[in-house]
Amino acid sequence: MCVVCGCNSSGQQESAQVAPDAGGAVVDARTGDLHFGAGAARVSVPGMSESRAIRIEQDVLGANNQVAQHNRAHFHAHGVRALNLVSSPGSGKTTLLCATIRALQQNHPEVALAVIEGDQQTSNDADRIRATGAPAIQVNTGKGCHLDAPMVAQAFARLAPHDHAHGHEHEHEHEHEHEHEHEHEHEHEHEHEHEHEHEHEHEHEHEHGHGHHHPTQSLLFIENVGNLVCPALWDLGEDAKVVILSVTEGEDKPLKYPDMFAAAQLMVLTKTDLLPHLSFDVQRCMDYARRVNPGIRILQLSATTGEGMNAWLDWLVHPDAIEPTSVQARIAQLEAELARLKAGQG
């Protein structure tokens, strides 16, 4: 066996072996000579064997995900619902965001708003947001093609959307509730999470029944770098990814960029006022999106005419209020069944 990597190749080193009692030295099988520093590292370090395997089993995005979990806990502790808005460049994210902020300021003045704007360069978008009166921080990624969790953590520290919520009597209750949920998420394996979500939704309905009128105290919009590929992989600590697709783009984008549509909870089809001038097939686009993500929710709107905006605003403020479609209900049912089966096997 090769002493360098443990492979089965029979090279010159076949005659050399690391002797268990030779302190990591290579032993010449013929003469019994000891060769320190003759191994792969070409250096002898006391206490270190020459070549060894180290079990790692670590997620490449682990460092990012840890910060993202921290962000999530931080957001929840402050009653902030964070949304990661992703799309290709030119889909109208910023236009939609400006229209959304103005509408929320009018119809839901109790909800605090803040925006983190991600672009490679310029502060044009943050300037447009600030013109609405909402606080915004521009994050320029330089050559980066996506925002990551540490960027969002730093940007959030410079915003103060949570100040609005400070001083509320029930704030502490909320903190405890959310911290508790987090512990649960850590302890449960992936397959159990769906069940957990159901419990969560159920709790939510329950809360509504008891007359809690502050489902969302504060909204943080994170406008990611315009890119339908890379941002799909980076968790920022958001409650949901929202993928925005304008009807001036191809209706097959969900198939071309499936990872992003699979990662999103909601797809918003924008610029629907232009549909009469285009050959965009809305139904086909929705079918494609559901191919890669059967549970995705879909809204259609025009930020210019305001058509469809109310459903979007409702989703922002009452995220669980949209009736699940029959497909979603069926998925939920089957996923619960699957989780039960898996639990039975384990």
Partner 1 sequence: MHELSLAGGVLKVVEDAAVREPFARVLKLHLEVGKLAGVELRALRFALEAIAPGTLLEGAELEIDEPQGRAWCMGCSTEVEIAQRGDPCPSCGAHWLAPQGGDELRVVDLQVA
Interface with partner 1 (CB under 8 A): 4-6, 39-41, 43, 45, 48, 50-64, 144-146, 148, 229-230, 232-234, 254-255, 258-259, 262, 288, 290-292, 294-295, 327, 330-331, 334-335, 338
Nearest approach, Cβ of 15 to partner 1 (angstroms)? Answer: 19
Whole-number minimum distance, CB 331 to partner 1, in Å?
6
Q: Do the Cβ atoms of 288 and 187 come closer than 8 Å?
A: no
What tokens appear for 186 in the block?
Answer: 């850590």
Question: Cβ 215 to partner 1, closest distance in Å?
Answer: 27
Q: Based on CB atoms, which residue is closest to partner 1, 41 or 278?
A: 41
Would you say 256 or 318 has its CB closer to partner 1? 256
The alpha carbon of 290 is separated from its chain's Cα centroid by a whole number of angstroms, namely 19
> What's the number of CA atoms in the CB half-sphere (13 Å) around residue 2?
10
Q: Residue 50 or 119: which CB sits closer to partner 1?
A: 50
- Report yes or no: 244 and 265 within 8 Å, Cβ to Cβ: no
Alpha-carbon distance of 346 to 60, in angstroms, equals: 27
Q: What's the CA dihedral at 73, 77, 81, 83 to 10 degrees?
A: -30
Q: Which is nearer to partner 1, 41 or 275 (CB)?
A: 41
Q: Which is nearer to partner 1, 99 or 149 (CB)?
A: 149
Q: How far is the CB of 301 from partner 1 (least distance, A)?
A: 25
> Min. distance of Cβ 203 from partner 1 in angstroms?
23
The partner residues of 291 in beta bridges, in order of sequence, read none
Q: Which is nearer to partner 1, 201 or 335 (CB)?
A: 335
What CA–CA distances, in Å, run from 46 to 39, 89, 269?
Answer: 13, 56, 63
Q: How far is the CB of 245 from partner 1 (least distance, A)?
A: 15
| H-assigned helices in 214-293 | 253-256, 258-263, 282-292
